[in-house]
Amino acid sequence: MGTERIMERRRDLGRRLAHGFLAVTLLVPAAAVAIGAASSDGVAEAAPVAIDIPAPGPLGAVTVFGDSVLLGSALYGPTLPDRLAERGWGPIRFRAGEGYNTRSTGDFSAGNWFRRWRAEGWDAPNVLVNLGANDSGICVTDFACARTSIQRVIDEIGPGHRIWWPQITRFYTKFPEQENWNRALRQFADERSDFTTWDWPAELSQYPSPDGTHLSPDGYRARSVRMAEVFTRDMARGTRVGGDAVLPSAGRSPSTFVSLPSTRIVDTRSDGSGPLAPGTTRRVDFADAVPDGTTAVALYLGSARATTNGFFTATPCGETSDASTVNYRTSTPIGAPTIVALGTGDDVCVSSSGASDLVVDLQGAFTGSPDGLTLTPLGTPRRLVDTRGAARPAELVVAVPAGASAVAVNLTAVRASENGFLSAYPCGTPTEAANLNFRTGGAWAASAIVQVSDDDTICVRANVSTDIAVDITGTFGTGPGLRFVPVAPTRAIDTRDATGGWGPIHGAGQTFDIRVAPPDASAVTGTLTIVNPFDSSFVSAEPCAGSTATSSANAGQGAVIANSVTVGVTGAGRLCLTASTAGHTLFDTTGWWVP
């Protein structure tokens, strides 16, 4: 088709857009867009647009096919293919046009194009289909028709693919047709693990639309950003791309646990030392605070009054690490528990990547004493209590396994009424020491080793109204059990750079099997960090022997949050991490437990 004819077609489409037929425009460079000619049945195609981005991306290849609802995402730049490429997808093949539909034959049909592309050697494993505005008018309220139409496209795409299909919107008088089609999409999503639907109608109110279906130019630009984000959230997957990370050497003797009264060792806000500057390190001396022969300490490490974003790394003095212990953001108090080996001078060194005050609370010690406590990990972690849907008592009494002297638990605060903190203690001996500091919005978690009362309970109390979940990962007692071997913090997985063999992302619902300890270990302690999830997310750390309904770390969209984990491992020292939402996952081993 000649340039003059192309431009006339564009001007014609522009005139129709101005009258509300389609709220899109044509600002894509001509070289990037292929305008179709007449179809095989002699009917001129209505300004279809094809965009190919050949560059490969770490998340893989994508086919995008849709009707006029998708067309505007190609006509106003940056286009949807541009936005997908920015997220890490590629190569990308895109085609959209007025009147495109789910039928099998004809140049307007999805079946025709998927067969044609396959014959050309193009068969991307990830497929974005945005069809239904036209087909729903044919099916009207016939549910079987909607299912048959969608199934036809699924069959054309074929097995071994993952499909992402947004729900449709129509003018309000056509709502029954819209809902009939969308109900079929939701049913496929419930039935198939390879099919995901996006609730686009729930988001449409944020975008100007003259007809309840198409968008304004700025609306299409915004939708391309959002669509690429949600597609990546739902469809991005990591793969095994390398081997396990190298384990640290175990230079310290196995130790038992001794619980200590929570004691503040460092608070740079009040001790006169001032906040840590970027790149500086604070030595913390524990010689007078722990029993003789202590090899490691259980700490709560906090950031306060940070003036930059950054993170703290706690290591035995004299040893270096690329791990992180607490991630902080400007003017946002936050902390995390950790277990850290002591240096030869009974000290821990805390380095800071940014500018922040430092708070260090001592909560326990690991010594060579035979009178200390040993760990018995659970085969699978389990949830002891969850107050969501029930009352929020001022003091939550939690029954734990009988005979335990202490328990390793993960405490989570959810839907808090205001910022606050949780304290966990043996029932009957309340404390003001905080195990978890939380804020409103989302879920906040921290692990703790909590002594058990004589009636086999622990108590959890919040200073403000909040729901509370308590998960147990192990019990402590005297006698036979596992003893702790502290090591310098060592990164076992980082999906950002494929440390530990997995990358380029941790997909929603994906489980990664990583080595975190040597074969003779039966449990591990480490820091689990969630980095920049696409939505509110949690990651579960469990032995690779089955899944549970527990969580180990929680983070809001785009946040970076860490939590300490003490949990059993399966043979060869392996741990499984499962993410609820796509994002990046880090795990730093700080020690393991051996018989």
Q: How many CB atoms lie within 10 A of CB 28?
A: 18
The number of helix segments (H) and strand segments (E) in the chain equals: 8, 32
- The SS3 assignment for 148 reads helix
Helix (H) or strand (E) segment spanning residue 197: strand 195-198
Q: Which pLDDT value is given to residue 67?
A: 96
Q: What is the per-residue pLDDT for 42?
A: 28
Greater confidence (88 vs 371) lies with 88
Taking residues 218-245, report their average pLDDT: 96
Cβ atoms of 169 and 203 closer than 8 Å? no
Query: Whole-angstrom Cα distance, residue 130 to residue 127?
Result: 10
**Worst-scoring range by mean pLDDT, 157-166, 185-194, 212-221?**
212-221
Q: Residue 101: beta bridge partners?
A: 109
Residue 248 is predicted with a pLDDT of: 92
The terminus-to-terminus CA distance of the chain in angstroms comes to: 77
Question: How large a percentage of the chain has pLDDT more than 90?
Answer: 85
| Residue with more model confidence, 588 or 39 | 588
Confidence of residue 369 (pLDDT cuts 50, 70, 90): confident
| 19 pLDDT higher than 70 | no
Which residue matches tokens 């007692």?
477
Of 44-48, 49-53, 428-432, 445-449, minimum mean pLDDT range: 44-48
The model's pTM = 0.87
Please indicate whether residue 19 or residue 582 has the higher confidence score (pLDDT): 582
Residue range 553-593, pLDDT digits in tens: 999 999 999 999 999 999 899 999 999 999 999 999 999 99
SS3 content of the chain, % helix, strand, coil (to 5): 20, 40, 40
pLDDT tens, position by position, 455-502: 999 999 999 999 999 999 999 999 899 999 999 999 999 999 999 999
Is residue 6 over pLDDT 80?
Answer: no
> Does position 12 have pLDDT exceeding 80, yes or no?
no
Summarize pLDDT for 514-554 with one digit per residue, the tens.
Answer: 999 999 999 999 999 999 999 999 999 999 987 778 999 99
What pLDDT was estimated at residue 374?
97
Q: List, in order of start, the domains of the chain with CATH numbers.
A: 3-235 (3.40.50.1110), 256-367 (2.60.120), 374-477 (2.60.120), 486-595 (2.60.120)
| 3 state DSSP class of 1 | coil
From CA 166, how far away is CA 182, in angstroms rounded? Answer: 9
SS3 174: helix
CA 250 to chain centroid = 31
pLDDT of residue 548: 73
Q: Which of the four pLDDT bands, split at 50, 70 and 90, describes residue 205? A: confident
Distance CA 146, CA 188 (A): 11
Q: Is it the case that residue 595 has pLDDT exceeding 90?
A: yes
Q: What pLDDT score was predicted for residue 88?
A: 96
| Band of residue 432 on the pLDDT scale cut at 50, 70, 90 | confident
Is it the case that residue 22 has pLDDT exceeding 60?
A: no
Inform me whether the pLDDT recorded for 351 exceeds 60. yes
Give tens-digit pLDDT for 499-513.
999 999 999 999 999
Specify the pLDDT at position 370.
86
User: pLDDT value at position 34?
Assistant: 36
pLDDT for res 312: 97
Distance CA(100)–CA(392), nearest Å, equals 53
Mean pLDDT of 349-361: 97
The 10s digit of each residue's pLDDT in 266-322 is: 999 999 999 999 999 999 999 999 999 999 999 999 999 999 999 999 999 999 898
| Region 122-149 average pLDDT | 97
Section 74-94 average pLDDT: 97
Asked whether the beta carbons of 516 and 576 are under 8 A apart, the reply is no
Sign of the alpha-carbon torsion through 568, 569, 573, 579: negative
pLDDT confidence bin for 371, thresholds 50/70/90: confident
pLDDT of res. 549: 80
Fill in the DSSP letter of residue 31.
Answer: G
Structure tokens at 39: 């179809």
Token pair 């990358």 in the structure block, residue:
503
Query: Is the pLDDT reported for residue 10 higher than 70?
Result: no
Rounded distance, CA 298 to CA 344, Å? 17
pLDDT value, residue 177: 97
Residue 24: is its pLDDT beyond 50? no
Question: Once rounded to an integer, what is the mean pLDDT over residues 100-110?
Answer: 93
Mean pLDDT of the chain: 90
Average pLDDT over residues 74-83: 96
The tokens describing 312, both together, are 């703290």
Could you tell me if 448 and 425 are in contact, meaning their C-beta atoms sit under 8 angstroms apart? no
Task: Say if residue 4's pLDDT is above 70.
Answer: no
Residue 1 — very low, low, confident or very high, per pLDDT cuts 50/70/90? very low
Cα–Cα distances (Å) from 495 to 235, 312, 498, 587, in that order, read 16, 20, 5, 10
The reported pLDDT for the residue numbered 8 is: 38
Cα–Cα distances in angstroms (integers) from residue 325 to residues 95, 310, 344, 494, 573, in the given order: 47, 11, 21, 14, 22
Query: 161 pLDDT exceeds 90?
Result: yes
